[in-house]
Amino acid sequence: MIDIHCHILADIDDGPKDWETSLKIVRLSKSEGISKIIATPHWVQGTKWETNAKEIIKKTEILNQLLEKEDIEIKVFPGMEVAITDRLVDLVKSDEILTLAGTKCILLEMPFRSLPFGLEKIIDEFLSNDIVPILAHPERNADFQNKPAMIKEFVQLGALVQVTSTSFTGSYGKEAQKCVIGFSKLNLIDFIATDAHSPERRPPLIKEALSIWEKYSKGNIDKFIAEGYEKLGMI
């Protein structure tokens, strides 16, 4: 199982402060059945979180070396969780912004209040440049919570949908939970990821979320995971 959204690298954003804490998160991920993790530090232009792609690649290598040393069978890949701004396509092309594990997919952070203006146009621009946008945790956005079926519009344009595992169990409130169950019933979820930040406060739990998804979507977990790899282009 692959976790495509996880703040696992030490001392780069609001994730773990040190490598020891990173390793704690990885061990928990492993106990949940996860074998691959894409490290997705925040990238927010013009803020302290305008992270550097080369630094992310370097820290991913460090973590993989630590995992080998500790004999933990998990592989980590570099990525980013990108906050929407202008010129994103150019920034991907110039390697300033990382896609997920070197695939064509980019993880786009959805804000918690209203949706980014012109999201349709942004999706379209990515796709016409052969980049596939994945909308990160739309169930935590107020507009989608008011009308979960609205996600269809963006899926039809070609965007993929990633929800946060712990939204299923109510960690982000009743509205997010209701919304993610709504998406499940409509069968519009492409990825369930942990968005883990810490071993305690925001841990990498996923098993329970998958069984809730299975119940409401009437889908098959193994097939869902296999299709996820295919959509990412990591077969």
Task: Verify binding: residue 81, Fe ion, rule CB under 5 A.
Answer: yes
Contact region with Fe ion (CB under 5 A), list: 8-16, 80-88, 93-101, 125-133: 80-88
Compute φ and ψ for 161, nearest 5 degrees. Answer: -120, 125
Neighbours of 60 (CB within 10 A): 23
Binding segment toward Fe ion, per CB under 5 A, in 48-56, 76-84, 158-166, 220-228 = 76-84
Nearer to Fe ion, 38 or 67 (CB): 38
Least distance to Fe ion, CB of residue 203, Å = 14
Q: Is 13 in the site for Fe ion (CB under 5 A)?
A: no
Distance (Å, whole) CA 92 – CA 168: 32
Backbone region of residue 87 per phi and psi (left: phi > 0; alpha: psi in -120 to 50; beta: other values): left
Instruction: Return d(Cα 12, Cα 18) in angstroms, integer.
Output: 9
What is the footprint of Fe ion within residues 104-123 (CB under 5 A)? none
In the complex with Fe ion, the residue whose CB is nearer, 3 or 195, is 195
Q: Residue 8 Cβ, how far from Fe ion at the closest point, in Å?
A: 11
Rg over CA atoms, the chain: 17
Interface with Fe ion (CB under 5 A), residue total: 2
CB 133 within 8 A of CB 159: yes
The yes or no reply on residue 195 touching Fe ion (CB under 5 A) is: yes
Could you give the CA distance from residue 191 to residue 232 in angstroms, rounded to a whole number? 10
What one-character-per-residue DSSP string does 217-234 give?
Answer: H---HHHHHHHHHHHHT-
- Name the residue nearer to Fe ion (CB basis): 103 or 216: 103
Q: How far is the CB of 69 from Fe ion (least distance, A)?
A: 27
Could you tell me the smallest distance in angstroms from the CB atom of residue 115 to Fe ion? 17
Stretch that binds Fe ion, among 55-63, 164-172, 184-192, 195-203 (CB under 5 A): 195-203
Binding site for Fe ion (CB under 5 A): 81, 195
